[in-house]
Amino acid sequence: MKPIFLILLVAFSSCSFKKSQLENQTKSGHTELYSEPDSPKNSNSKDFKRVIIAATNDIHGHYESSEFSFKDNHQKEKQSIRLGGVDFISSYFKILRQQYGQILLLDSGDIFSSKTKEINFISDFYSTLGYDAITVGLNDFNLKLPSKYHSSSDFFKSFAVKSKVPLILSNLYDLKTSRVVEWPGTLPYLIREVNGVKVGILGLIPDDIIEFTPLDNRVGFYFEGMLRSTLRHSRLLRSLGAEIIVVLTHQGLKCGEEIAQDLKLPLSKVNFEPERKGICDLSGQMGEYLNRLPPGLVDVVIGGRTHQKNANIINTNLVLSGFEDGKSFSYAELFVDINTRKLRRDKTIVHQPVSFCQEFFKETNDCYTEDSSVDHKARMPAFFLGEKVEPDASVQQKFHSFLKGNSNQTFTVPKNIQSIIDFYSGDISYTNSGSGNTKLVLISLKGSEVLEILEDEYNQGQAANWKPSPFKLNERGLEISIQGSPIEVGKDYKILTDIDVAQRHPSLRKMIQRSGNITLNNASWSEPEMMKDGVSTSMSASQAVR
């Protein structure tokens, strides 16, 4: 009888105890790695108010999906999978709201792409997806600005006016007024009420901006130190009733590197022991900031820049960040005692960053590609919190120019778009003579292919057909660049061309049938406008077919 009792006890124990947090760092069994396919556990309580805080960082205006190619030990051919895309990102956030109700959605910086002509879509992205607040990062100060903007100040002002989401700039001062910037659309702080809890939000420019940003890009600005600004604003927010304070800053931590080395695992796979001490390197700017913060002054710090997973409690602060280019988001559940109105830190639930998977590998219930021991061939739909993830059709319509790789879908070009080239982010265009209607194609090429085509066209005397002209003769010979920047061999570029003309040029003809190219049917243009180097066209198109 005794042995039977022991067997039952072991069986019961295996079902009852929580899995080890390091179980997701083994070489198999990735069911809890960067995806949460199952319905959430009920954490509601009449004694507490729950606040869901979700955040992205380092999106860089990257609203199209990203394709990742990889190999595993089971399949001979190379495989690929897609992550992200604004239509899938929207779907994940909608599911999060369906499950939890109101959430606080934030972004900690590097919100712009290097193509500043996409500014309208960047503001639309944050408003369409329902963000509550955003701030800017270091790369946002290092953009190559269009000629109409004389400084970063002009650029940020233009964006803030158009944006429907508050741009929080807590420690950015205008030297002309000696005050925190007071542009339309910007705020030094914000208080949002979420599920009956007042949450204060700060947006801090990192202390090392002077080190990484040219003087010309910060003319007219003064940057107050992060700690000093936090001390001043946090006390104000508490006096205004804030029960939780969140700091947004494009500053980051490096965590889990020693574990990755010890376990011989990819860095992306480790670091999910939120309360473990010594897992993060605190010797840098972010570590110094966190170590100097008085306990309980702020509650959550959302960082970025390192493009690493942060889900760590440093001193009394929960630090969150995820991966770059719209690949993932971070979130946590915080609980405020209804009677004391105080945050109960011991009840905080920290979640793994969630990848924006478009589909799952059937064996693992996620879209993680770095484990070659897994057979990635069999696929299944992606699920999040018990709901199937499907692209948001309304967002597809609004942002279709950014959504690559979704075949067999037809979109209507919005009537208010004046320039097809600007809308499709075309780097250069190729025109025929005369005006009229035709079918255009947008071809995606590597820089090495662009150089090959342009050199061939130049030698054939066709240089005048490219606008804006990438051809320039200097003392050393032919210089090929786009908008003044040398063409980079490994960079991706786009060419917008008349499909009939392209068919007559061997160098372009072979590129037309590539998958992922976009064809514009029944496109029309005004040739005099088309021939300007500025490429401010009056082109329009009735449909864009992928």
What tokens does 514 get? 């590539």
| pLDDT given at position 9 | 36
| pLDDT given at position 422 | 46
Opening angle at CA 84, ends 83 and 88, nearest 5: 115
What are the φ/ψ torsions at residue 432 (nearest 5 degrees)?
A: -100, -175
Rounded CA-CA distance 241/239 in Å is 5
| CB-based contact 155:116 (threshold 8 Å) | yes
CA-to-CA dists, residue 137 to 98, 108, 142, 152, 205, angstroms:
30, 7, 9, 12, 7
Q: Is 161 helix (H, G, I), strand (E, B) or coil?
A: helix
Residue 272: closest CA among 309, 300, 308: 309
| pLDDT given at position 542 | 40
| pLDDT given at position 457 | 78
- Give the residue ranges of the chain where pLDDT is below 50: 1-19, 116, 401, 404-425, 433-436, 525-546
The label of the residue with tokens 């190729």 reads 430
| pLDDT given at position 404 | 43
All domains of the chain, ordered by start, with CATH? 50-395 (3.60.21.10), 407-545 (no CATH)
Rounded CA-CA distance 268/308 in Å is 7
Q: Is 361 helix (H, G, I), strand (E, B) or coil?
A: strand
What tokens does 220 get? 């007219």
CA-to-CA dists, residue 89 to 345, 364, 388, 404, angstroms:
29, 21, 13, 14
Give the distance from CA 164 to its chain's centroid: 18
End-to-end CA distance of the chain: 70
10 Å CB burial of residue 13 (0-12, 13-18, 19+) is exposed
Q: What is the 3-state secondary structure (H, E, C) of 490-508?
A: CCEEEEEEEHHHHHCCHHH
Neighbours of 511 (CB within 10 A): 18
| pLDDT given at position 415 | 42
Cβ contacts of 88 within 8 Å, gap of 6 or more = 65, 356, 357, 358, 389, 391, 392
What tokens does 468 get? 């804006």
Find the Cα–Cα–Cα–Cα dihedral 270, 61, 303, 367, rounded to 10°.
-20
Q: What is the DSSP letter of 116?
A: G
| pLDDT given at position 483 | 65
Rounded CA-CA distance 267/23 in Å is 15
Whats the size of the chain, residue-wise? 546
What tokens does 473 get? 């003769």
In one letter, which amino acid is 229? S
